[in-house]
């Protein structure tokens, strides 16, 4: 829009674009998106480009406006640029379809999803490892008690056991001592 606006020349009643049709076509070349160009004079008459672009829905902010619309059923993002003219502003509009934007959004979402899945998998693996490692002493105590015969009522050794298991081992040893006394 800025490149085209730089080539707008005022005439007595309207404006003209001192770019050839081939030059305007070069500005519209894009490998992924369709680009539409429109230049309207101060009276709203079409000077160059496609008539399919509607007038901007809102006025300029700092001489330009951005809005979304549809052309031939395709969503487009439009920039409208107002160019000063003695009879009123001329409007240069350039619209582009959303192909590149959609590709960029998909790539960003895929990248974020992959990194979040990796983080979730790592958190699950660390949790699995941490819980397994934390319960290892309890499993060892269970195996030690399960390996005893019903007649073996001697106290369970507290050596090598974490301090968190000390109350359980102490209560179990007290019970075994009462059973042996009985």
- pLDDT on residue 164: 84
What is the DSSP annotation of the chain?
-HHHHTTEEE-SSSEEE-S-HHHHHHHT--SSS-EEEEEE-TTS-EEEE-TTSPPPSS--BTTEEEEEEEETTEEEEEEEEEE--TTS-EEEEEEEESHHHHHHHHHHHHHHHHHHHHHHHHHHHHHHHHHHHHHHHHHHHHHHHHTS-TT--PPPP-TT--GGGHHHHHHHHHHHHHHHH-
* Sites in the chain below the pLDDT cut of 50: none
The count of other CB atoms within 10 Å of the CB of residue 42 is 18
- Residue-wise pLDDT for 75-98, tens only, equals 999 999 998 888 888 899 999 988
| CA-to-CA separations, 78 to 30, 69, 104, in angstroms, rounded | 15, 7, 18
pLDDT at residue number 28: 65
């Amino acid at each position: 829009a800025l490149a085209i606006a730089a080539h707008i020349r005022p005439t007595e009643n309207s404006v003209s674009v001192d770019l050839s049709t081939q030059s305007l076509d070069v500005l519209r070349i894009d490998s992924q998106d369709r680009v539409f160009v429109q230049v309207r004079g101060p009276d709203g008459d079409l000077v160059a480009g496609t008539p399919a672009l509607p007038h901007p829905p809102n006025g300029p902010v700092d001489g330009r406006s951005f809005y979304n619309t549809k052309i031939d059923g395709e969503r487009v993002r439009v920039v409208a640029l107002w160019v000063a003219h003695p009879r009123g502003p001329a409007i240069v509009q350039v619209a582009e379809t959303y192909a590149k934007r959609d590709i960029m959004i998909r790539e960003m979402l895929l990248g974020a999803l992959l990194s979040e899945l990796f983080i979730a998998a790592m958190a699950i693996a660390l949790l699995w490892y941490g819980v397994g490692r934390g319960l290892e002493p309890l499993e060892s105590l269970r195996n030690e008690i399960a390996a005893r015969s019903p007649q073996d009522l001697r106290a369970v050794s507290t050596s090598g056991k974490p301090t968190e298991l000390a109350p359980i081992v102490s209560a179990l040893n007290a019970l075994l001592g009462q059973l042996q006394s009985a």
